[in-house]
Amino acid sequence: MRVLSVTGFFSAAKRPAATTADDDGELVYGLTPASHLLVGSSSLTPFLTLMLDGVFVSPFFGLGAWLQRSPAPDRSLFEVTHGHALREMGDGDPAFGELLHEGLVADTSFIMDVVVKECGHVFQGVSSLVDVAGGLGTAAQTIAKAFPHVKCSVLDLRHVVANAPVGTGVDYIAGDMFESIPSANAVFLKWILHDWGDAECVKLLKNCKKAIPSKEEGGKVIILDMVVGTGLSNPQHKEMQVLFDLFMMFMNGIERDEHQWKKIILEAGYSGYKIIPIAGWILHDWGDAECVKLLKNCQKAIPSREGGGKVIILDMVVGAGLSNPKHKEMQVLFNLFMMFMNGIERDEQQWRRLFRKLDILVITLY
């Protein structure tokens, strides 16, 4: 607990002594925004359990020897360690397969909740969507529920589709994404391309292009993946990106920067692309000066208000919302947590003061 509190995963404070002056009081640990991610209905505990399982950790003990092999190994570090690729191991070991499934579902549920709230506009005008290699359809079900006008389907291998749930409002199609993809207005690729090298990605993206109508007719490929080097410039953000790149490397994957993404996208025959950062719960980490700088960069990245440009901020407005005591207590506690990390939860007046520094005249609070 001492280690976890020093690293900011838990807070630690002395409870006031209730007896004698010699009693220093009991040390009480509390949740911080980081540990809040591991409790509740959207808990990331299954994903963290997967990442810390011995199957995932043990390959890294052989990283040095793997990198020094000559000629370069044709099998991933994971395969060299376990004798099987990740998916093959999940199929052959029921216990690990269940751990893998639960971890990926938890990760998908968490990120898709952010996607539909922050980037829901990408699904506007889409009447049909196919989630490529979408497993049992967690992402597709989230999209279908949030946007009932979108007919969603999932493409995956036959043995995966055989276990698909029923009554989800999502269609399941057995097939190989490297052979063909069912026709739809939009193709959705979540955490797929980082598993593959450039040649495989180009082939897959070409299949996606064949499956959708032209850009003028509303066709689009929606890729949910990391772009290394984008986003916030703080050390923790950079550390997360390079650690995920290292993690993908040990399975023969790669996290790409914008230049690398541009290369495979253009090689697959697309005319262009647009990167939309997902930035929920960002501004409460920073003081006004840093927020103003970040928001000015956001303004530069979008068209004018008249041209439909918008900055969507998912963050707390202290004092807004329900007036019951539990709601107020939650807001005050989160403000306390953020203060612990040099952040701040802002009330409406503080948000307005921040926006006025950007010459933003219209503010919509929900």
What confidence tens digit (pLDDT) does each residue in 224-240 have? 998 888 765 667 777 77
The residue written with tokens 């399975």 in the block is 251
Q: How far apart are CA 101 and CA 262, in angstroms?
A: 31
Helix, strand, coil abundance in the chain, percent, nearest 5:
45, 10, 40
Residue 283 buriedness (CB in 10 A; 0-12 / 13-18 / 19+) = buried
pLDDT(155) > 80: yes
* Cα 100 → chain centroid: 17
Q: What is the mean pLDDT of residues 204-228?
A: 94
pLDDT(366) > 50: no
Q: What is the pLDDT of residue 322?
A: 57
Q: What is the signed CA dihedral for 326, 119, 212, 306, rounded to 10 degrees?
A: 140
Lowest mean pLDDT among 11-15, 127-131, 216-220: 11-15
pLDDT band at 361 (very low <50, low <70, confident <90, very high): very low
Tally of CB atoms within 10 A around 212: 21
Q: How far apart are CA 58 and CA 81, in angstroms?
A: 8
Q: What is the mean pLDDT of residues 244-259?
A: 88
Pairing verdict, β 27-31 and 128-132: unpaired
- 194 as an active site residue: the answer is yes
Q: How far apart are CA 257 and CA 250, in angstroms?
A: 18
pLDDT(21) > 90: no
* Percent over 70 (pLDDT), the chain: 86
Q: Which of the pair, 27 or 220, is modelled with greater confidence?
A: 220
The residue written with tokens 């090298």 in the block is 197
Q: How far apart are CA 213 and CA 256, in angstroms?
A: 27
Token couple for 96: 């690990």
Instruction: Identify each DSSP E strand in 39-192 by its residue range.
Output: 128-132, 151-156, 171-174, 186-190
Tally of CB atoms within 10 A around 183: 13
Token couple for 202: 């180009």
pLDDT(320) > 90: no
pLDDT band at 365 (very low <50, low <70, confident <90, very high): very low
Q: How far apart are CA 197 and CA 294, in angstroms?
A: 33
Q: What is the pTM of this model?
A: 0.72
pLDDT band at 324 (very low <50, low <70, confident <90, very high): low
Q: What is the pLDDT of residue 5?
A: 85
pLDDT band at 102 (very low <50, low <70, confident <90, very high): very high
Q: What is the pLDDT of residue 234?
A: 63
Query: Which residues contact residue 93 at a Cβ distance below 8 angstroms, ignoring those fewer than 6 apart?
Result: none
Of 198, 180, 289, 283, residue with least CA distance to 232: 283
If you average pLDDT over every residue of the chain, what do you get?
Answer: 84
Lowest mean pLDDT among 94-108, 174-188, 305-319: 305-319
The residue written with tokens 């719960």 in the block is 281
pLDDT(199) > 50: yes
Token couple for 135: 């497993």
Lowest mean pLDDT among 41-50, 124-133, 164-173: 41-50
Report which listed range, 27-31, 101-105, 203-207, 273-277, is most confident.
Answer: 203-207
pLDDT band at 189 (very low <50, low <70, confident <90, very high): very high
Q: Which of the pair, 119 or 160, is modelled with greater confidence?
A: 160
* Phi then psi dihedrals of residue 105, to 5 deg: -65, -45
Token couple for 266: 């253009």
What confidence tens digit (pLDDT) does each residue in 328-359 have? 666 666 666 666 556 787 888 888 888 877 76
Q: Would you say how long the chain is, in residues?
A: 366
* Percent over 90 (pLDDT), the chain: 40
Q: How far apart are CA 120 and CA 220, in angstroms?
A: 14
DSSP classification of residue 88? H
User: Out of 84, 101, 194, 284, which one is annotated catalytic?
Assistant: 194
